[in-house]
Amino acid sequence: MTSCLSRTAPDEFILISGRHSIRRISLDDEEDLNDVTLVSGLRNVLTLDYSMTTPTDGIMLYSDTVLHTIYTANLNGTSEWLCVHFMVYSL
C-alpha cells in the first residue's frame, strides 16, 4: 500500500472508499472539489470510519477483507499503521 505525501486536511471534506483506494474530496471551495487519493494499492476495502482528535486533525480506520487486516492512518494520508491481522481458517 502507498500513501500520498504529507498535507493538511481541509476543513470540510468527504472520505470515499473504493475497492482499491481511499480518497478525500475537499468541500472548502465550491468551484474546485479537490480530489486526493490518500491510500492506494488496497485489495478490497469494505469498511471506513474516522475519528477527529481535534477540529483540524484526526485518523481514519479501514479494513481490507482480502488481506484480513484493519489499518489506521492520519486523515491527511500519512502514517499508516497495521492494527489487526486476522488469520482465517477453513474447516
pLDDT digits (tens, 9 = 90+) for 44-90: 998 999 998 776 688 999 999 998 999 999 888 888 888 888 877 66
DSSP sequence for 63-76: EETTTTEEEEEETT
Q: Which pLDDT does position 3 carry in this prediction?
A: 46
23 pLDDT band, cuts 50/70/90, is: very high
Q: Which pLDDT does position 61 carry in this prediction?
A: 93
The whole-angstrom separation of Cα 44 and Cα 34 is: 24
Find the Cα–Cα–Cα–Cα dihedral 50, 3, 64, 83, rounded to 10°: -70
5 pLDDT band, cuts 50/70/90, is: very low
Q: Do 21 and 37 meet the contact criterion of CB atoms below 8 Å apart?
A: yes
7 pLDDT band, cuts 50/70/90, is: low
Q: Which three cell numbers stand for residue 68?
A: 484480513
